[in-house]
Amino acid sequence: MAPVSDEMRSHVEDGVSLCRAGDWNKGLPVLAAAIENRGVAEQVPGIAYSYLGYGVARFQGKHRDGLRLCEHAIKLQYYEADNHWNLARVHVLAANRKAAVNALERALKLDPDHPGLLALQKEIGTRRRPVIRFLHRDHPLNRWLGRLRHGWSGQPSGQSAGPGDRPRGGPGGGSMDGSRISEPRPATVTRNDR
C-alpha cells in the first residue's frame, strides 16, 4: 500500500478533531468520506477507522460494525491509545464489560496518562482480586465471600476500597454517610392476627 497522502492526512485530522471536540455530526461524514474516497492503493490512518467505529456504534447503534472498525484501526495502528480507547467505549456500548476492561488495560500500558482512558476506567470501575486466589472467581465460595467483603466495605458496585478507605456500614450499623439508621423491627404476631 502507498503511504498516507497529505490530502488524506488533512481530511482525517479534520474529522478526528471534530469528533474529539464533540461535533460528531460534522466529524463522522468527513471520516466516512475520507475512507470511501481513498485511492485503490492509498492507506488510511487507523485513527480514522477508530473514531468512525465509535461514532457508528454510538449514534447509529451498529455495535458490531463499530467493533469491526475499531479492531481494524488497532491492526493498522496498534500503538495509538485512542484506538484502544474507542474500542473499549464500543464494548461498553455493547454491554461487554470484560472486553472493555481488557481493551482499557492494553491501552493504559501504551499511555498511562491518557485522560479519556482514565475517565473510562473510573466510570466502569475495576474488579478486586478473588478472596481465595487459587480458586476461580466464579467458584461459589469466592462469590459468597466476595459478596460478604463487598457488603463490609460499603463501596458501590464495581469499585474497590482504596488503601485509605475504612469499612463503612457492615456489622456496626449506620449508613454510607456515617449516620445511624435504626433497623426495622420485626413484625410481631398476636393471637388475633391468626
Phi, psi angles (nearest 5°) of residue 42: -80, 135
Domain annotation covers residue 177: no
Are residues 78 and 28 part of one domain? yes
- The confidence score (pLDDT) of residue 41 equals 55
Residue with cell 476500597: 161
Are residues 144 and 83 part of one domain? no
- Measured in residues, the chain has a length of 194
Helices marked H in the chain: 6-20, 24-36, 46-60, 63-76, 81-93, 97-110, 115-124, 140-153
- The torsion defined by the Cα of 47, 49, 52 and 57, in degrees rounded to 10, comes to -120
Comparing C-alpha atoms, which of 95, 43, 86, 36 is closest to residue 66? 86
Domain annotation covers residue 181: no
Phi, psi angles (nearest 5°) of residue 127: -85, 145
- The confidence score (pLDDT) of residue 186 equals 46
- The confidence score (pLDDT) of residue 34 equals 87
pLDDT of 32 higher than 60: yes
Q: For the residues 83-109, what does the mean pLDDT come to?
A: 94
CA distance 153 to 146: 10
Q: For the residues 107-113, what does the mean pLDDT come to?
A: 94
Are residues 146 and 115 part of one domain? no
Are residues 156 and 75 part of one domain? no
Phi, psi angles (nearest 5°) of residue 153: -75, -25
Any idea which of 75-84, 116-125, 127-136, 156-165 has the lowest mean pLDDT? 156-165
Are residues 150 and 116 part of one domain? no
Q: For the residues 156-180, what does the mean pLDDT come to?
A: 42
Are residues 101 and 68 part of one domain? yes
pLDDT of 187 higher than 60: no
Q: For the chain, give the percent of residues with pLDDT over 90.
A: 52
- The confidence score (pLDDT) of residue 170 equals 40
Are residues 49 and 118 part of one domain? yes
Are residues 150 and 114 part of one domain? no
CA distance 99 to 105: 10
Mean pLDDT, the chain, whole residue set? 80
Range of the domain at 72: 6-124
Q: How confident is the model at residue 179 (pLDDT cuts 50, 70, 90)?
A: very low
CA distance 90 to 118: 16
As beta bridge partners, residue 2 has 42
Domain annotation covers residue 40: yes
Are residues 35 and 112 part of one domain? yes
Domain annotation covers residue 47: yes
